[in-house]
Protein backbone atom coordinates (compact mmCIF):
# COMPACT_ATOMS: atom_id res chain seq x y z
CA UNK A 1 0.00 0.00 0.00
CA UNK A 2 1.33 3.46 -0.85
CA UNK A 3 2.10 5.52 2.20
CA UNK A 4 0.14 8.73 2.75
CA UNK A 5 1.93 10.74 5.42
CA UNK A 6 0.18 13.39 7.47
CA UNK A 7 3.04 15.87 7.95
CA UNK A 8 2.77 18.65 10.53
CA UNK A 9 5.30 21.48 10.39
CA UNK A 10 5.81 21.04 6.62
CA UNK A 11 6.47 24.75 6.16
CA UNK A 12 9.21 24.89 8.82
CA UNK A 13 12.97 24.48 8.61
CA UNK A 14 12.89 20.73 9.16
CA UNK A 15 9.55 20.14 7.43
CA UNK A 16 10.76 21.63 4.14
CA UNK A 17 13.76 19.29 4.27
CA UNK A 18 11.57 16.29 5.15
CA UNK A 19 8.92 16.85 2.49
CA UNK A 20 11.00 16.06 -0.64
CA UNK A 21 12.63 13.10 1.10
CA UNK A 22 9.26 11.61 2.02
CA UNK A 23 7.86 12.14 -1.46
CA UNK A 24 10.97 10.61 -3.07
CA UNK A 25 10.12 7.22 -1.59
CA UNK A 26 7.90 4.71 -3.47
CA UNK A 27 5.09 7.01 -4.52
CA UNK A 28 4.56 8.41 -1.01
CA UNK A 29 1.93 11.13 -0.85
CA UNK A 30 2.13 13.91 1.75
CA UNK A 31 -0.90 15.43 3.36
CA UNK A 32 0.50 18.61 4.91
CA UNK A 33 -1.33 20.15 7.85
CA UNK A 34 -0.93 23.85 7.16
CA UNK A 35 -2.05 26.94 9.04
CA UNK A 36 -3.90 29.63 7.14
CA UNK A 37 -6.70 32.18 7.45
CA UNK A 38 -8.75 30.40 4.78
CA UNK A 39 -8.60 27.70 2.11
CA UNK A 40 -7.03 30.10 -0.40
CA UNK A 41 -4.11 30.87 1.89
CA UNK A 42 -3.58 27.19 2.67
CA UNK A 43 -3.52 26.41 -1.06
CA UNK A 44 -1.09 29.27 -1.70
CA UNK A 45 1.23 27.91 1.03
CA UNK A 46 0.95 24.39 -0.40
CA UNK A 47 1.78 25.56 -3.93
CA UNK A 48 4.70 27.56 -2.56
CA UNK A 49 6.02 24.46 -0.75
CA UNK A 50 5.74 22.37 -3.91
CA UNK A 51 7.75 24.93 -5.85
CA UNK A 52 10.31 25.47 -3.13
CA UNK A 53 10.87 21.76 -2.56
CA UNK A 54 10.77 20.89 -6.29
CA UNK A 55 8.29 18.02 -5.77
CA UNK A 56 5.47 16.81 -8.06
CA UNK A 57 2.34 18.85 -7.44
CA UNK A 58 -0.01 15.84 -7.26
CA UNK A 59 2.01 14.23 -4.44
CA UNK A 60 1.50 17.05 -1.94
CA UNK A 61 -1.96 17.89 -0.63
CA UNK A 62 -2.85 20.22 2.19
CA UNK A 63 -5.43 20.30 4.95
CA UNK A 64 -6.10 23.44 6.91
CA UNK A 65 -5.35 23.02 10.60
CA UNK A 66 -3.74 24.37 13.72
CA UNK A 67 -2.03 21.84 15.95
CA UNK A 68 -2.61 23.94 19.07
CA UNK A 69 -6.41 23.88 18.57
CA UNK A 70 -8.62 21.02 19.74
CA UNK A 71 -8.64 18.16 17.23
CA UNK A 72 -5.65 19.80 15.44
CA UNK A 73 -8.08 22.48 14.22
CA UNK A 74 -9.33 20.17 11.47
CA UNK A 75 -12.92 20.71 10.36
CA UNK A 76 -15.15 17.65 9.89
CA UNK A 77 -14.29 17.26 6.19
CA UNK A 78 -10.55 17.56 6.78
CA UNK A 79 -10.69 15.11 9.70
CA UNK A 80 -12.64 12.62 7.56
CA UNK A 81 -10.09 13.02 4.78
CA UNK A 82 -7.16 12.44 7.13
CA UNK A 83 -8.85 9.40 8.68
CA UNK A 84 -9.58 7.85 5.31
CA UNK A 85 -6.27 8.67 3.59
CA UNK A 86 -3.40 8.89 6.11
CA UNK A 87 -1.40 5.75 6.78
CA UNK A 88 1.34 7.37 8.84
CA UNK A 89 2.11 10.62 10.65
CA UNK A 90 5.24 12.73 11.00
CA UNK A 91 4.70 15.30 13.74
CA UNK A 92 7.29 18.04 13.26
CA UNK A 93 5.22 21.12 14.11
CA UNK A 94 6.14 22.98 17.28
CA UNK A 95 6.48 26.47 18.64
CA UNK A 96 10.29 26.62 18.61
CA UNK A 97 10.49 29.71 20.83
CA UNK A 98 12.29 29.88 24.11
CA UNK A 99 10.42 32.86 25.52
CA UNK A 100 6.80 31.66 25.45
CA UNK A 101 4.77 31.73 28.66
CA UNK A 102 4.16 28.19 29.94
CA UNK A 103 0.47 28.12 28.94
CA UNK A 104 1.26 29.00 25.31
CA UNK A 105 4.13 26.52 25.08
CA UNK A 106 1.80 23.91 26.59
CA UNK A 107 -0.87 24.58 23.94
CA UNK A 108 1.50 24.59 20.98
CA UNK A 109 3.58 21.63 22.03
CA UNK A 110 1.92 19.46 24.71
CA UNK A 111 -1.74 19.82 23.66
CA UNK A 112 -0.67 19.49 20.02
CA UNK A 113 1.09 16.21 20.75
CA UNK A 114 -1.97 14.97 22.65
CA UNK A 115 -4.15 15.74 19.62
CA UNK A 116 -1.69 13.98 17.31
CA UNK A 117 -1.76 10.95 19.61
CA UNK A 118 -5.57 10.99 19.65
CA UNK A 119 -5.58 10.93 15.84
CA UNK A 120 -2.92 8.20 15.81
CA UNK A 121 -5.10 6.14 18.17
CA UNK A 122 -8.09 6.49 15.82
CA UNK A 123 -5.98 5.44 12.80
CA UNK A 124 -4.49 2.57 14.77
CA UNK A 125 -7.91 1.32 15.83
CA UNK A 126 -9.00 1.46 12.18
CA UNK A 127 -5.87 -0.63 11.40
CA UNK A 128 -4.56 2.09 9.08
CA UNK A 129 -1.58 3.43 11.05
CA UNK A 130 1.84 2.14 10.01
CA UNK A 131 3.68 4.50 12.28
CA UNK A 132 3.92 7.90 13.92
CA UNK A 133 7.27 9.68 13.92
CA UNK A 134 7.40 12.27 16.67
CA UNK A 135 10.04 14.99 16.35
CA UNK A 136 11.25 15.99 19.78
CA UNK A 137 14.53 17.61 20.81
CA UNK A 138 17.69 16.35 22.49
CA UNK A 139 17.18 19.29 24.87
CA UNK A 140 14.43 17.44 26.72
CA UNK A 141 17.62 16.76 28.71
CA UNK A 142 17.35 20.36 29.96
CA UNK A 143 20.18 21.30 32.31
CA UNK A 144 21.15 17.69 32.95
CA UNK A 145 24.93 17.34 32.99
CA UNK A 146 26.92 14.35 31.87
CA UNK A 147 25.70 11.74 29.45
CA UNK A 148 22.03 11.68 28.40
CA UNK A 149 20.94 8.41 26.83
CA UNK A 150 18.25 7.86 24.23
CA UNK A 151 16.17 5.90 26.77
CA UNK A 152 16.54 8.70 29.36
CA UNK A 153 13.62 11.07 29.72
CA UNK A 154 12.53 12.52 33.05
CA UNK A 155 15.70 12.24 35.14
CA UNK A 156 14.74 15.09 37.47
CA UNK A 157 16.37 17.73 35.26
CA UNK A 158 15.73 21.49 35.40
CA UNK A 159 14.91 23.39 32.22
CA UNK A 160 16.34 26.47 30.57
CA UNK A 161 12.95 27.52 29.19
CA UNK A 162 9.31 26.55 28.61
CA UNK A 163 10.22 25.06 25.21
CA UNK A 164 12.40 22.33 26.73
CA UNK A 165 9.84 21.67 29.44
CA UNK A 166 6.95 21.43 26.96
CA UNK A 167 8.92 19.06 24.70
CA UNK A 168 9.68 16.80 27.69
CA UNK A 169 6.01 16.80 28.67
CA UNK A 170 5.11 15.92 25.06
CA UNK A 171 7.53 13.01 25.07
CA UNK A 172 6.10 11.71 28.35
CA UNK A 173 2.73 11.49 26.62
CA UNK A 174 4.33 9.79 23.62
CA UNK A 175 6.00 7.23 25.90
CA UNK A 176 2.63 6.47 27.49
CA UNK A 177 1.12 5.94 24.03
CA UNK A 178 3.99 3.59 23.09
CA UNK A 179 3.26 1.62 26.26
CA UNK A 180 -0.37 1.38 25.08
CA UNK A 181 0.87 -0.24 21.87
CA UNK A 182 0.91 2.61 19.36
CA UNK A 183 3.65 2.28 16.71
CA UNK A 184 5.79 5.36 17.37
CA UNK A 185 9.43 6.41 17.04
CA UNK A 186 10.85 9.52 18.70
CA UNK A 187 13.53 11.60 16.97
CA UNK A 188 15.59 14.04 19.01
CA UNK A 189 17.74 16.45 16.96
CA UNK A 190 20.23 18.64 18.83
CA UNK A 191 20.79 22.21 17.51
CA UNK A 192 19.74 22.26 13.86
CA UNK A 193 21.54 24.57 11.42
CA UNK A 194 21.40 24.98 7.63
CA UNK A 195 22.17 22.31 5.05
CA UNK A 196 25.71 20.95 5.16
CA UNK A 197 25.99 21.16 1.38
CA UNK A 198 24.79 24.74 0.91
CA UNK A 199 24.33 26.31 4.35
CA UNK A 200 20.74 27.04 3.35
CA UNK A 201 18.27 27.57 6.19
CA UNK A 202 14.90 29.20 6.82
CA UNK A 203 15.46 29.84 10.52
CA UNK A 204 18.27 31.88 12.03
CA UNK A 205 18.17 31.01 15.72
CA UNK A 206 20.38 29.52 18.47
CA UNK A 207 23.87 29.30 16.86
CA UNK A 208 23.02 32.14 14.48
CA UNK A 209 22.43 34.60 17.30
CA UNK A 210 26.01 34.81 18.70
CA UNK A 211 27.28 34.50 15.11
CA UNK A 212 25.21 37.51 14.05
CA UNK A 213 26.25 39.84 16.83
CA UNK A 214 29.88 38.77 16.46
CA UNK A 215 29.92 39.30 12.68
CA UNK A 216 28.23 42.68 13.05
CA UNK A 217 30.80 43.72 15.62
CA UNK A 218 28.17 44.23 18.34
CA UNK A 219 29.66 41.69 20.73
CA UNK A 220 33.08 40.15 21.17
CA UNK A 221 33.16 39.09 24.83
CA UNK A 222 31.63 35.75 25.53
CA UNK A 223 30.19 35.32 29.02
CA UNK A 224 30.72 31.60 29.20
CA UNK A 225 33.10 28.70 29.18
CA UNK A 226 35.18 28.14 26.03
CA UNK A 227 35.35 24.41 26.73
CA UNK A 228 31.54 23.93 26.61
CA UNK A 229 30.60 21.50 23.88
CA UNK A 230 27.85 22.66 21.51
CA UNK A 231 26.06 19.90 19.63
CA UNK A 232 25.20 21.05 16.11
CA UNK A 233 23.66 19.09 13.22
CA UNK A 234 22.77 20.15 9.68
CA UNK A 235 19.10 20.04 8.67
CA UNK A 236 19.63 17.89 5.56
CA UNK A 237 21.33 15.19 7.65
CA UNK A 238 18.53 15.31 10.25
CA UNK A 239 15.89 14.91 7.52
CA UNK A 240 17.87 12.05 5.92
CA UNK A 241 18.19 10.31 9.28
CA UNK A 242 14.46 10.58 10.07
CA UNK A 243 13.46 9.30 6.63
CA UNK A 244 15.87 6.38 6.95
CA UNK A 245 14.81 5.50 10.50
CA UNK A 246 11.12 5.53 9.59
CA UNK A 247 11.73 2.87 6.93
CA UNK A 248 13.00 0.44 9.57
CA UNK A 249 10.36 -1.53 11.48
CA UNK A 250 12.63 -2.21 14.43
CA UNK A 251 12.81 1.52 15.19
CA UNK A 252 9.23 1.47 16.52
CA UNK A 253 8.91 2.10 20.24
CA UNK A 254 12.39 3.61 20.37
CA UNK A 255 14.06 7.01 20.67
CA UNK A 256 16.93 8.32 18.53
CA UNK A 257 19.34 11.14 19.26
CA UNK A 258 20.11 12.94 16.00
CA UNK A 259 23.21 14.56 17.35
CA UNK A 260 26.97 14.79 17.06
CA UNK A 261 27.26 13.25 20.54
CA UNK A 262 30.89 12.63 21.44
CA UNK A 263 31.99 14.49 18.29
CA UNK A 264 30.39 17.80 19.32
CA UNK A 265 32.93 20.65 19.19
CA UNK A 266 33.63 23.24 21.87
CA UNK A 267 32.70 26.93 21.93
CA UNK A 268 36.40 27.76 21.52
CA UNK A 269 36.81 25.56 18.43
CA UNK A 270 33.69 27.01 16.82
CA UNK A 271 34.60 30.61 17.71
CA UNK A 272 38.14 30.24 16.36
CA UNK A 273 36.84 28.83 13.08
CA UNK A 274 34.23 31.58 12.76
CA UNK A 275 36.85 34.27 13.46
CA UNK A 276 39.11 32.77 10.79
CA UNK A 277 36.24 32.56 8.28
CA UNK A 278 34.99 36.09 8.82
CA UNK A 279 38.35 37.79 9.44
CA UNK A 280 37.06 39.00 12.82
CA UNK A 281 39.13 39.45 16.00
CA UNK A 282 39.47 36.64 18.52
CA UNK A 283 36.58 36.15 20.94
CA UNK A 284 37.30 37.08 24.55
CA UNK A 285 35.82 35.08 27.42
CA UNK A 286 34.52 36.25 30.74
CA UNK A 287 33.41 34.09 33.62
CA UNK A 288 29.60 33.87 33.70
CA UNK A 289 29.26 34.71 37.43
CA UNK A 290 31.52 37.73 37.05
CA UNK A 291 29.57 38.84 33.97
CA UNK A 292 26.24 38.61 35.81
CA UNK A 293 27.56 40.41 38.87
CA UNK A 294 29.64 43.22 37.34
CA UNK A 295 29.14 43.60 33.57
CA UNK A 296 25.44 42.92 33.06
CA UNK A 297 24.21 45.55 35.56
CA UNK A 298 26.36 48.12 33.74
CA UNK A 299 25.34 47.32 30.17
CA UNK A 300 21.68 46.42 30.82
CA UNK A 301 20.28 49.96 31.25
CA UNK A 302 22.34 51.17 28.30
CA UNK A 303 21.25 48.35 25.97
CA UNK A 304 17.58 48.66 26.99
CA UNK A 305 17.50 52.11 25.40
CA UNK A 306 17.60 50.94 21.78
CA UNK A 307 15.75 48.34 19.69
CA UNK A 308 19.01 46.66 18.72
CA UNK A 309 20.12 46.64 22.36
CA UNK A 310 16.87 45.09 23.50
CA UNK A 311 17.25 42.46 20.75
CA UNK A 312 20.74 41.62 22.04
CA UNK A 313 19.45 41.31 25.60
CA UNK A 314 16.52 39.10 24.54
CA UNK A 315 18.73 36.88 22.38
CA UNK A 316 21.29 36.65 25.17
CA UNK A 317 18.72 35.50 27.71
CA UNK A 318 17.26 32.95 25.29
CA UNK A 319 20.33 31.49 23.61
CA UNK A 320 23.31 32.04 25.92
CA UNK A 321 22.37 29.12 28.21
CA UNK A 322 23.09 26.77 25.28
CA UNK A 323 26.73 27.90 25.28
CA UNK A 324 27.32 27.57 29.01
CA UNK A 325 27.07 23.84 29.60
CA UNK A 326 25.45 20.92 27.85
CA UNK A 327 25.00 17.20 28.30
CA UNK A 328 26.68 14.76 25.94
CA UNK A 329 23.92 13.16 23.90
CA UNK A 330 24.52 9.44 23.62
CA UNK A 331 23.79 8.34 20.04
CA UNK A 332 24.24 4.56 20.36
CA UNK A 333 20.77 3.66 19.04
CA UNK A 334 20.98 5.96 16.02
CA UNK A 335 24.45 4.72 15.11
CA UNK A 336 23.43 1.09 15.57
CA UNK A 337 20.33 1.56 13.39
CA UNK A 338 21.93 3.61 10.61
CA UNK A 339 25.61 2.62 10.61
CA UNK A 340 27.79 5.32 9.03
CA UNK A 341 24.69 7.33 8.13
CA UNK A 342 23.97 7.63 11.86
CA UNK A 343 26.80 10.14 12.33
CA UNK A 344 26.37 13.72 11.11
CA UNK A 345 29.11 15.33 9.03
CA UNK A 346 31.75 17.03 11.24
CA UNK A 347 30.62 20.61 11.90
CA UNK A 348 34.05 22.12 11.19
CA UNK A 349 33.78 20.71 7.65
CA UNK A 350 30.56 22.53 6.74
CA UNK A 351 30.58 25.52 9.12
CA UNK A 352 31.95 27.79 6.40
CA UNK A 353 28.85 27.22 4.22
CA UNK A 354 26.53 27.84 7.18
CA UNK A 355 28.33 31.09 8.02
CA UNK A 356 28.47 32.30 4.40
CA UNK A 357 24.78 31.63 3.79
CA UNK A 358 23.77 33.48 6.97
CA UNK A 359 26.03 36.46 6.22
CA UNK A 360 24.92 36.63 2.56
CA UNK A 361 21.25 36.61 3.66
CA UNK A 362 21.90 39.12 6.43
CA UNK A 363 20.59 36.54 8.95
CA UNK A 364 17.14 36.73 7.41
CA UNK A 365 16.66 40.34 8.53
CA UNK A 366 13.95 42.03 6.51
CA UNK A 367 16.31 44.97 5.93
Ligand X SMILES: NC(=O)c1ccc[n+]([C@@H]2O[C@H](COP(=O)([O-])OP(=O)(O)OC[C@H]3O[C@@H](n4cnc5c(N)ncnc54)[C@H](OP(=O)(O)O)[C@@H]3O)[C@@H](O)[C@H]2O)c1
What is the binding site for ligand X (CB under 6 A)? 8-15, 35, 66-68, 92-96, 108, 135, 137, 167, 189, 191-192, 202-203, 206
Count of C-beta atoms within a 10 Å radius of residue 147: 13
Give Cβ neighbours of residue 188 (< 8 Å, ≥ 6 apart): 136, 137, 138, 140, 150, 255, 256, 257, 258, 259, 329
> What is the C-alpha separation between 224 and 286, in angstroms, rounded?
6
Minimum separation from the CB atom of position 68 to ligand X (A): 4
Minimum separation from the CB atom of position 302 to ligand X (A): 31
Minimum separation from the CB atom of position 102 to ligand X (A): 16
Minimum separation from the CB atom of position 296 to ligand X (A): 26
* Residue 268 near residue 350 (C-beta atoms within 8 A): no
Of 190 and 288, the one with the shorter C-beta distance to ligand X is 190
Minimum separation from the CB atom of position 194 to ligand X (A): 11
Minimum separation from the CB atom of position 211 to ligand X (A): 14
Position of minimal CB gap to ligand X: 12
**Cα 169 versus chain centre, distance:** 16
Minimum separation from the CB atom of position 30 to ligand X (A): 13
Of 300 and 338, the one with the shorter C-beta distance to ligand X is 338
Of 103 and 287, the one with the shorter C-beta distance to ligand X is 103
What's the sign of the alpha-carbon dihedral 233, 14, 110, 80?
A: negative
Amino acid sequence: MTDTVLLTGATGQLGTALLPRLVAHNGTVVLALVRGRDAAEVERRRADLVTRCGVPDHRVHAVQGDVSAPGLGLDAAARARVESEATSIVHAAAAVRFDLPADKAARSNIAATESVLELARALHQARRLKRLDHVSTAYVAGRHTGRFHEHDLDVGQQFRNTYEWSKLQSELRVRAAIAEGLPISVHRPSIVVGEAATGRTRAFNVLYWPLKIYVRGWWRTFPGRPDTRVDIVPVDWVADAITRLRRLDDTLGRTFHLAAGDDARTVRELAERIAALTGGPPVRYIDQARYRRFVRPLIWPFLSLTRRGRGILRGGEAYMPYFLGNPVFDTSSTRAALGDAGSPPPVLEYLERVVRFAVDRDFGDPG
